[in-house]
Amino acid sequence: AEQYLDDTGHAAWANYTIINLASRKGSDQIGLIGGDSTNGDANAWIWDGTTFGSFTEITAAARLPNPSREELAIAWESNSGHLVAVAVASTPADSIVSKEYTTSWSAATAAFQCAVTGGAIRWLSLKPNPVGDDMVIATESTSGPDVNTCYWTGSAWANFNTHDSAVDFSSMRVVDF
């Protein structure tokens, strides 16, 4: 039956303009991350096969100015089955924050640079290694060079790299991994 999610961080109605889902291979679990444009935060839940639970706020300061952009992402680590939820930070605009769900949600990571300084990230694409707990996140930002990647080691973000020296369109995602 149709359900709704209760954003327990706010007592009033909140508008969600971005939603991403990630299914966990071999289970009924689904990770959901949503961008609350009313309050400027990014939140995540886990579907356990029956109901959504395990609510967490990834950041209260997400960069969510426009519902046509994907400034958040979610994916399951292949070996451990941990869930990683990522959102673009509002300050600095060239960084990401994340939380990892093991048996509960971790604290948010410190903002990690994943774009050239001053390049506001507008698009994310998070892809797990199919045989490990590492992941790669591709970002696209508003000013060149604007296609970048960062590496999730299974416990932390590392290896910021720039791949494109031209300015691409920030009104549409032209990068994936």
- Name the more confident of 1 and 146: 146
Please give the model's pTM, rounded to 2 decimal places: 0.91
H/E segment holding residue 124: strand 121-128
Say if residue 68's pLDDT is above 60: no
| Tens digits of residue pLDDT in 78-133 | 999 999 999 998 888 788 999 999 999 999 999 999 888 777 888 899 999 999 99
Alpha-carbon distance of 93 to 147, in angstroms, equals 15
Q: How far apart are CA 81 and CA 159, in angstroms?
A: 23
Residue 107, both tokens:
């604290």
Of 64, 37, 67, 51, nearest to 6 (Cα)?
51
Nearest to 35, CA basis, from 55, 52, 57: 57
